[in-house]
């Protein structure tokens, strides 16, 4: 299974990371179930230093703390679920563990895609990169796509805006991920994701400031990471 296939099962991520100086957009948590099915996932070491231009350090540190909570809860859920299954349990409590796992695990992974796509020194879009040619072919112009993507970011609701690619046809779509795990076009690959839960912006921009937050995120998007996902 190649890396694109590996990440495609769910869907996407912007923002960023290259704050650590190294970038691997497809990198997933180092620890995982390979070998030991009860092994924990480790929180990815995103280091935002003094913050990102336009986003405060307090906001980013709080957001990273929330991300680590998803990792912790995913590890606990995965253990509880597997132990229950090994014991042959299959009742309502086990079923609810599975339902909750979709929320917690997706919350962990999609935050990783978001953080690794943001950078204080982001890569600029590469001229003539196939992604940008396809964006222009799909929406007419890059600006028209961004307008539609920003409109996705500012939709009422709790969730994520995502630019995704259907691997069966190569089609690009702007999608809305409700919470972390709902309304995802199944099987699409994440190209870019932006967290638009209120915790991602209220501290800096206020409850009515989602649009200003998206404007602040726009210049932080690391197109090197985004293009790598295409």
- Tell me which residues touch Fe ion (CB under 5 A): 195, 197
Are 176 and 161 spatial neighbours (Cβ–Cβ below 8 Å)? yes
**Which DSSP helix (H) or strand (E) runs through 177?**
strand 172-178
| C-beta of 172 vs 194, nearer to Fe ion | 194
Q: Minimum Å distance from CB 125 to Fe ion?
A: 25
Q: Minimum Å distance from CB 183 to Fe ion?
A: 17
Residues in the chain: 230
Q: Nearest to Fe ion by Cβ — which residue?
A: 195
SS3 38: coil
| C-beta of 86 vs 199, nearer to Fe ion | 199
| CA separation for the pair 11, 184 (Å, rounded) | 7
HSE on the CB side for 149, CA within 13 Å?
25
Q: Minimum Å distance from CB 44 to Fe ion?
A: 14
| C-beta of 150 vs 180, nearer to Fe ion | 180
Q: Minimum Å distance from CB 64 to Fe ion?
A: 9
| CA separation for the pair 123, 226 (Å, rounded) | 9
Q: Minimum Å distance from CB 153 to Fe ion?
A: 13
| C-beta of 26 vs 66, nearer to Fe ion | 66
What DSSP line would sit under 180-192, residue for residue? TTBS--TTPEEEE
| CA separation for the pair 88, 9 (Å, rounded) | 27
Q: Which tokens hold the place of 210?
A: 């989602």
| CA separation for the pair 153, 192 (Å, rounded) | 12
| C-beta of 104 vs 227, nearer to Fe ion | 104
Q: Minimum Å distance from CB 112 to Fe ion?
A: 11
| C-beta of 115 vs 230, nearer to Fe ion | 115
| C-beta of 39 vs 202, nearer to Fe ion | 202
Q: Which tokens hold the place of 27?
A: 């990198």
Phi, psi torsion values for 97, nearest 5 degrees: -60, -45
**Which DSSP helix (H) or strand (E) runs through 172?**
strand 172-178
Q: Minimum Å distance from CB 152 to Fe ion?
A: 16
């Amino acid at each position: 299974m190649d890396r694109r296939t590996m990440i495609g099962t769910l869907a996407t991520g912007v923002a960023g990371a290259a704050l650590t100086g190294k970038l691997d957009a497809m990198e997933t948590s180092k620890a995982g179930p390979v070998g030991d099915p009860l092994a924990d996932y480790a929180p990815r070491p995103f280091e935002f230093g003094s913050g990102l231009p336009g986003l405060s350090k307090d906001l980013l540190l709080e957001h990273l703390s929330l991300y680590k909570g998803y990792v912790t809860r995913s590890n606990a859920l995965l253990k509880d679920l597997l132990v229950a299954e090994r014991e042959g349990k299959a009742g309502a409590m086990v079923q609810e563990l599975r339902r909750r796992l979709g929320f917690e695990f997706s919350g962990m992974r999609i935050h990783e895609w978001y953080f690794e796509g943001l950078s204080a020194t982001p890569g600029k879009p590469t001229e003539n990169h196939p992604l940008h040619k396809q964006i222009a072919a799909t929406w007419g112009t890059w600006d028209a796509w961004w307008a539609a993507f920003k409109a996705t970011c500012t939709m009422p609701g709790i969730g994520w805006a995502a630019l995704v690619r259907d691997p069966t046809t190569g089609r690009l779509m702007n999608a809305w991920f409700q919470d972390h795990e709902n309304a995802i076009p199944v099987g699409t690959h994440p190209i870019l994701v932006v967290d638009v839960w209120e915790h991602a912006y209220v501290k800096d921009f206020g409850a009515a400031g989602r649009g200003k937050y998206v404007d602040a995120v726009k210049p932080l998007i690391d197109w090197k990471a985004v293009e790598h996902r295409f």
